[in-house]
Amino acid sequence: METPGSQTSLHRANLERVVRAVRMAGSLTQAEIARTTGLSAATVSNIVRELKEHGTVEVTPTSAGGRRARSISLSGDAGLVIGIDIGPTRLRVALADLAHRVLAEESEPLAGDHSAADCLDQAAALVERLIARAGSDPGKVIGAGLGVPGPVDTASGTLGPTTLRGGWAGTRPGEELGRRLGVPVHVDNDANLGALGELLRGGGRGVADLVYVTVGTGVGAGLVVGGRLLRGPGGTAGELGHVVLDPAGPVCRCGNRGCLETFAAAPYVLPLLHTSHGPGLTLGDVVRLAREGDPGCRRVVADTGRHIGTAVAALGTLLNPSRVLLGGDLADAGDLVLDPLRDSVARYAFPGAAARLTVAAGTLGPRAGVLGAIALVLGEMGDTGLLNSPFSPSTSLRERMAPLSSR
C-alpha cells in the first residue's frame, strides 16, 4: 500500500514524470529526459529499463551531438489517439500512436450549410473509415482532440458566439462527438491547436513564446506564453481578428466596426477584386495569381499583410513573443505578404519587442491544426493507465459507435 512520502509513492511519481515527458515530446533521449524531469541520469536509466520491461516504452538507437544515444518513445501498443480539425470549409482527421507518429490521415470538404450535428456525424464517420483503412484495432483508441473555428469556454467546453460556422454557438462539440465515438474528446479553438502543432512539430520548435496567426474565412491567433497556450477563461485569448483597427470601418460579424477581420479575412478581401477579376475567386486563387505577378492580387495581398502586421505589432508590444508564424491560405504567398507584415511590425511595435521578433510562415500548412489536436489529447490524458497494464478496453470503438451507424 502506497503512503504519501514513501519510497513506493516517490518511485511511482518519478515513473509518471518520465512517461509524461516522453508522451508530451513524442520521443526523447535519456539525457533529455533527465533535463526535462530534473531526475538524475542513473534514476532515468533505471526507470527506462523498468518501463521497457513493462512494455510501456520502446528504446531505439540514435545519436545526439555526434554521440551514440538511445531514443525513448511510448510503445505503439500502448494505445491510439485521434486528431480532428473542423475548419470553415474542410474536415481533416488523423490517427496517431502515443509516440506522436501519424498512422493515417485524410481530409474532405464540408458543406457550407452543415448543422453542428451533421458535421460531427461526418467527423465520426471519417474516423471510423480512417481506422479501418489503417488496419488498426478500434479498441485501442483512448481519446480524441478536436479543433473548432471559434472560442471555446475553458470551463464548460461551450462554443462562443463568434464561431465561423452558423448554428454552432452555444453547443458543446466535445461532449457531442464524445458520445458518437465513445471516448473522451478534448476540444479547443483551431488557431490554438495550430499554434500547438507548430510549437511541437513545426516552425515553433524550441520557442517558448509564440504567436500563430491563421487567415482564411476569419482571422485568429494562438498564443503560447512560457511554453503554454494562453486561452483565457472564456477561450477568447487570441481573437486577433476582432482587434479594432478603424472605429469607423466596416461592420464586423461580431458587431464592432473596423475589426482586423474586415480588412484581412476572405469574405471582406475577395470583393475588392470582383470588378477587375470577376466573382468566384478564392483566397487560394488570389495568392496563386499574386505569385504569378498579377498586380491587383499583389496589392490586395500586400495590404492584407500590412493590416495583419498592425495588429501583430500590438501583440508584440504586449506579449513580447520571439516568433510569429503565419498560417492559413494566405501563408502560401510567402514574402509577398510577410514583408508588408514585417514592415508594419517594425513601424508600430515597441522597438525592443520588434528587434527580437521573427516573422515567418508556418511549416505545417493545413496539417497544423490536426497535429495540434493530437498533441492536445496527448497532453490532457493521464499516465496512470499506461503504468498499470497494456491498454485492453472492454469494448471496441466500432461497438461504441454502433448507435451512429444505425441512424
The tally of domains found in the chain comes to 3
List, in sequence order, the alpha helices (H) in 111-162: 116-134
pLDDT tens, position by position, 128-152: 999 999 998 888 898 999 999 888 9
Residues 153 and 65 in one domain: no
Residues 54 and 169 in one domain: no
At 213, which CATH number? Answer: 3.30.420.40
pLDDT at residue 104, rounded to an integer: 95
pLDDT at residue 124, rounded to an integer: 95
pLDDT at residue 405, rounded to an integer: 39
Domain boundary among 74, 94, 129: 74
As a three-state string, the secondary structure of 237-264 is CCCHHHCECCCCCCECCCCCECECHHHH
Residues 124 and 160 in one domain: yes
Q: Which residues in 114-135 are b (16+ Cβ under 10 Å) and which e?
A: bebeebbbbbbbbbbebbeeee
pLDDT tens, position by position, 29-78: 999 999 999 999 999 999 999 988 888 888 988 887 788 888 998 876 77
Residues 220 and 329 in one domain: yes
pLDDT at residue 400, rounded to an integer: 42
Contact 304, 264 (CB under 8 A): yes
- Give me 151's grid cell: 472560442
Residues 180 and 139 in one domain: yes
Residues 229 and 357 in one domain: yes
Higher-scoring residue by pLDDT: 234, 260: 260
Inside any domain, residue 121: yes
Residues 185 and 216 in one domain: no
Cα distance between residue 22 and residue 47, in whole Å: 12
Q: How confident is the model at residue 87 (pLDDT cuts 50, 70, 90)?
A: confident
Residues 154 and 228 in one domain: no
Quote helix, strand, coil % in the chain, to nearest 5.
Answer: 45, 20, 30
Domain residues for 173?
80-193+389-405
Q: Is the pLDDT of residue 201 over 60?
A: yes
pLDDT tens, position by position, 226-253: 989 999 988 889 999 999 999 999 999 8
pLDDT tens, position by position, 287-342: 999 999 999 999 999 999 999 999 999 999 999 999 999 999 999 999 999 999 99
pLDDT tens, position by position, 380-398: 876 555 555 333 333 444 4
At 41, which CATH number? Answer: 1.10.10.10
Residues 126 and 53 in one domain: no
pLDDT at residue 86, rounded to an integer: 92
pLDDT at residue 256, rounded to an integer: 95
Residues 230 and 343 in one domain: yes
pLDDT at residue 407, rounded to an integer: 38
pLDDT at residue 386, rounded to an integer: 57
Q: How confident is the model at residue 5 (pLDDT cuts 50, 70, 90)?
A: low
Cα distance between residue 128 and residue 95, in whole Å: 10
Q: Is the pLDDT of residue 285 over 90?
A: yes
pTM over the 0.85 mark: no
